[in-house]
Amino acid sequence: GDSVTQMEGPVTLSEEAFLTINCTYTATGYPSLFWYVQYPGEGLQLLLKATKADDKGSNKGFEATYRKETTSFHLEKGSVQVSDSAVYFCALGPRGGATNKLIFGTGTLLAVQP
């Protein structure tokens, strides 16, 4: 079945460091790909998405490119801030339709130190 694999955390970085969180997927068909972020004590929020190969999703300085050839959707940010500390989830889902089941990776905790 479909699945998502994320790098295990925690990832600990100093402020202004470069961030990469790896995500690879296995899926039939052509899924949409997402990064969600969960700040402490809160629900998940969509960070960015891409719906087809070579699309780049971006938001708040974060970017991820849908790579069909490597089945990857790695999250990157050039300069992290303390406020980016959160758990990041990679997810895949169908492009549309009623059966809108998201499959999540295990989440990666990011801790940014001042």
Shortest distance, position 71 Cβ to other proteins, whole Å: 18
Three-state secondary-structure class, residue 41 = coil
Amino acid (one-letter) located at 86: A
Q: 């780049």: which residue's tokens?
A: 56
Region from 22-30, 61-69, 77-85, 105-113 binding other proteins, contact rule CB under 8 A = 105-113
* Cβ neighbours, 10 Å, residue 83: 10
1 binds other proteins (CB under 8 A): no
Beta bridge partners of 107: none
Q: Taking contact as CB under 8 A, which single stretch among the options 18-26, 65-73, 75-83, 101-109 is the one that binds other proteins?
A: 101-109
114 binds other proteins (CB under 8 A): no
**CB nearer to other proteins: pick between 72 and 94:** 94
Q: Are 40 and 84 in contact (CB under 8 A)?
A: no
